[in-house]
Amino acid sequence: MLFAPKRHQDLRGCFSETFSLRHLATLGISDDWVQDNYSLSLEKGVVRGLHLQRPPTAQAKLVRVNRGAIFDVVLDMRPDSPSFGQHAGVELNARDWTQLYVPEGYAHGFCTLEPDTEVIYKTSRYYSPADELGILWNDPDLGIAWPVDPAMALLSPKDAVNARFAEIGPIDWGF
């Protein structure tokens, strides 16, 4: 779900409630947020993901860009879903002030579109290395149109060797 919090602007700058449980509830979002994460990517073409955590520590995420811009991707990992294995991509940037809600059951990743991009996101459960999964960002079976030449993408060593989608067995999400 993509949405933009209200932003009040005047000659001094702007003010916005970037997080409001009351506003999220009007959108049908009722997760209990337990952790805030921050990433700074110094270069254009940094790819982070695709990441997810399996139950019992599966995470919903609330993602926003504080500075710069990203191409943000979600991948449906729910085997009983009609959109299982399908992805969606959207640009998030500081200018539009949009946020992306990623429910449990989706892998998530992004590519920076500008240097010095800051991404801030909330999670509904704490990070658990034991439950973490990674899917290869440029798996040809997924057909994600990333806005970076694969030879120029900047990846962590871990993300460079993530499993292909077909190698990840079905996950029992419990819902």
**SS3 label, residue 42:** coil
Contact 39, 118 (CB under 8 A): yes
The reply to whether 51 belongs to the active site is yes
* Residue 81, SS3 per DSSP: coil
87, 106, 108, 121: the catalytic one is 121
Nearest Cα to 100, choosing from 112, 110, 85? Answer: 110
The residue behind tokens 């947020």 is 33
Contact predicate 118/38, CB 8 Å: yes
Cα 33–59–71 angle (5° rounding)? Answer: 100
Task: Indicate if 108 belongs to the active site.
Answer: no
Catalytic option among 8, 51, 87, 108: 51
Location of structure tokens 């499993």: 163
In this structure, what DSSP letter does residue 85 have? Answer: T
- What lies within 8 Å, CB to CB, of 108 at 6+ separation is 49, 50, 51, 52, 61, 63, 72, 73, 74, 75, 102
- Number of Cβ atoms within 10 Å of the Cβ of 105: 24
Q: Which positions are annotated as active-site residues?
A: 51, 121
